[in-house]
């Protein structure tokens, strides 16, 4: 094992997600999207997650103000639109129009979700942490939406069919394939 000269956060892979937020309550024209990969699960009773967003980002300001956001898990199929969202600024361009993403309303929060994503989560912020360069938003997952074409008969998500997009060291990757179930070695 070689010690690298440069310290890196090589926690791999990271899912590519699209956080959605709305600047003005009930005004769909103020909807915004920010691609994020610094996201993860923090608890499951209740179901909670975190997103980390660079300080000063337009979406971070909206989420901090309204304390809610959608978190839509991306597939490889929409990689180009995601990439465009990453270098565009939501206070200057309508990212929904730019990408052609189809909005659908959340059930429990005042935010649009993205139909093209296989999974969308409705999130309510419970805590915010400020770090040197980023703000971390810890949120409770209030609702989970899964595209019906990715659900089995038992309503369990068919992850292998979703072709989830991942981010690794400034590159896009696909999640790959299932190897085994958890605790297969018992």
Q: What is the CATH number of the domain that holds 48?
A: 2.30.110.10
Q: Give a yes or no: residue 151 inside a domain.
A: yes
Sheet with 119-130, strands from edge to edge, namely 31-36, 17-22, 68-73, 119-130, 134-146, 47-54, 39-44
- Among 3-7, 71-75, 117-121, 176-180, the range scoring the smallest mean pLDDT is 176-180
Q: What is the pLDDT of residues 74-131, one digit of tens each?
A: 999 999 999 999 999 999 999 999 999 999 999 999 999 999 999 999 999 999 999 9
Q: Give a yes or no: residue 161 inside a domain.
A: yes
Please list the residues that pair with 16 across neighbouring strands: none
Q: What is the pLDDT of residues 16-28, one digit of tens each?
A: 999 999 999 999 9
Q: Give a yes or no: residue 184 inside a domain.
A: no
Q: Give a yes or no: residue 134 inside a domain.
A: yes
Q: Give a yes or no: residue 75 inside a domain.
A: yes
- The tally of domains found in the chain comes to 1
The boundaries of the domain holding residue 137 are 14-174
Q: Give a yes or no: residue 186 inside a domain.
A: no
């Amino acid at each position: 094992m070689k010690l690298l000269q440069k310290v890196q956060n090589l926690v791999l892979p990271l899912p590519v997600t699209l956080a959605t937020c709305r600047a003005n309550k009930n005004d769909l024209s103020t909807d915004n999207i920010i691609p994020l990969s610094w996201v993860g699960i923090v608890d499951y009773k209740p179901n909670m997650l975190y997103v980390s967003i660079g300080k000063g980002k337009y979406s971070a300001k909206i989420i901090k103000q309204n304390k809610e956001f959608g978190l839509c898990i991306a597939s490889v199929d929409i990689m180009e639109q995601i990439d465009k969202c990453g270098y565009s600024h939501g206070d200057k361009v309508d990212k929904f129009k730019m990408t052609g993403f189809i909005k659908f309303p959340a059930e429990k929060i005042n935010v649009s979700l993205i139909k093209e994503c296989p999974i969308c989560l409705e999130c309510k912020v419970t805590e915010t942490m400020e770090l040197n360069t980023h703000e971390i938003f810890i949120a409770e997952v209030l609702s989970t939406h899964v595209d019906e074409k990715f659900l089995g008969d038992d309503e369990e998500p068919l992850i292998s069919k979703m072709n989830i997009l991942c981010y690794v060291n400034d590159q896009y990757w696909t999640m790959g394939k299932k190897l085994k179930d958890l605790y297969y070695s018992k």
